[in-house]
Amino acid sequence: MHDSTKIVRSTLTRAVAGEPLHPSPVFAAPFHTPGDPNDATYTYTRMNNPTWTALERAIGQMESGQFAPGHADAGKPYRASALVFASGMAASASVFGSVLKPGDVVVLPSHCYFAARALMQEYFAKMGVVIRLAPTANEAQGEQLEGARLLWIESPSNPLMEICDITSLSERAHRAGALVAVDNTTATPLGQRTLALGADFAVASDTKSMTGHSDIVLGHVAVRDLELRQQIEQWRTLMGGVLGPMEAWLALRSIATLPLRLERSSANALRIAEYLTTRTNVVHDVLYAGLPTHPAYALAARQMQHFGAILSFTLADRTSAETFLSKAKLITEATSFGGTCTCAERRARWGGDAVPEGFIRLSAGLEDVDDLLEDIAQALDALR
């Protein structure tokens, strides 16, 4: 089955006469559990919940597929299994926490999502985990793998849109004896199947493009190996960073439209990126994975199915960026990305990323692109 069909079918209940087409949220802390708890599928919602199961089944199918060209098992099918978490950070932490022990080496991208880097540097480093940083671009992380336990990849990276060859890096990491996790938040499993490319863990914040309505916070980890699944699940049960049934239900409702949303937002992002490159008097360094001028365009085209909603560009300085954002009527100034409306922000205002003062990250929404281009044009005109 193709992706759209697979996703739509995966969110339905079994066809039972008189039953709803889609599962409803199951609000429960404990479940009836007489006698031996092993006889009950559900006992207590910190451990498991039927609404998670429905969502995990759908995400698991989305993450399943065939190994990609270039992988040693190219063309062979594999099945993925997913676990959902209260946030993307809770999902990331489950991989860090279940894999790493004192003395272990983790190879992180020097510009990965700033909270993942902060969690590592401020907590795991204190507990004796050794951190090696290297840029995402040009597979520089591959030079740091000797003796490593975990390679953490983010491609395309947020917000600098750096891209690396996930298949070749995974192969090098496995040869060095390391496990590989990819933070696939920017691409989503439909934009890039990281398990098919060779990763052991596909990690994502599903708060962003995956669910795409700017109203829930959640994340997931998907794996092919059942032993790794068990370790992640045990971490989740003991740490308790679990998703509420309402969020799980909203997420399940949202992901059926992911193929449509990805198609539209990727097409809009490309048109905006192309337009920005024509405004060289005020706009610099337009970065989008789908632009042929991106330094890793050929690689992105090979390893991604959709280039996604996010692009970035740089205006002269802080004032120019602030003026642009206040003049643009159809661009909502907010953080996060992948929602229905076009959003942007001056990224340096947070202080966490190594970006210029005039650097803007923009997430293309689902609007009519001609309206967006007209609005962006008048906002840029204000900078002259």
Residues 192-211 that bind ligand PLP (CB under 6 A): 205, 207-208
**Residue 366 structure tokens:** 């689902």
DSSP label at residue 185: T
Question: Which range in 127-135, 178-186, 246-254, 297-305 contacts ligand PLP by CB under 6 A?
Answer: 178-186
The length of the chain, given as a count of residues: 384
CB contact at 8 A, 294 and 286: no
Out of 23, 142, 212, 219, which residue is the one contacting ligand PLP (CB under 6 A)? 219
How far is residue 309's CA from residue 167's CA, in Å, rounded to a whole number? 23
| CA dist., res. 381 & res. 376, Å (int) | 9
Closest CB to ligand PLP among residues 115, 140 = 115
Give, for 312, the enclosing helix (H) or strand (E): strand 310-314
Distance CA 224, CA 81 (A): 6
Closest distance to ligand PLP from the beta carbon of 306 (Å): 16
Stretch that binds ligand PLP, among 19-27, 181-189, 230-238, 311-319 (CB under 6 A): 181-189
Name the residue nearer to ligand PLP (CB basis): 186 or 320.
186
Does position 183 interact with ligand PLP (CB under 6 A)? The reply is yes
Question: Does residue 266 bind ligand PLP (CB under 6 A)?
Answer: no
Tell whether residue 217 is a contact of ligand PLP (CB under 6 A). yes
Q: What distance in Å separates the CA atoms of residue 20 and residue 15, rounded to the nearest whole number?
A: 9
Judged by CB under 6 A, which stretch of 28-36, 183-191, 313-321, 345-353 contacts ligand PLP?
183-191
Residue 168 vs residues 18, 70, 108, 139, 254: alpha-carbon distances, Å: 51, 8, 16, 8, 33
Per-residue b/e over 134-153, b at no fewer than 16 CB within 10 Å?
Answer: bebbebbbbebbeebbbbbb
Size of the site for ligand PLP (CB under 6 A): 15
Closer residue to ligand PLP (CB): 184 or 320: 184
Q: Which residues of 175-202 are buried (b: 16+ CB within 10 A; e: fewer)?
A: ebebbbbbbbbbbbbbbbbbbbbbbbbb
Indicate whether 89 belongs to the interface with ligand PLP (CB under 6 A). Answer: yes
Q: What is the DSSP letter of 212?
A: -
Stretch that binds ligand PLP, among 59-67, 87-95, 231-239, 253-261 (CB under 6 A): 87-95
Candidates 64, 87, 194, 265; binder of ligand PLP (CB under 6 A) is 87
- Per CB under 6 A, does 185 bind ligand PLP? yes
Quick one: tokens of 86? 């209260």
Q: In this complex, which beta carbon is closest to ligand PLP, that of residue 49 or of residue 207?
A: 207
Mark 150-169 with x for binding to ligand PLP (rule: CB under 6 A) and - for no binding: ----x---x-----------
Among residues 25, 60, 88, 339, which is the contact residue for ligand PLP, using CB under 6 A?
88
- Measured at CB, which residue is nearest to ligand PLP? 88
- Note the residues at the interface with ligand PLP (CB under 6 A): 87-89, 113, 115, 154, 158, 183, 185-186, 205, 207-208, 217, 219
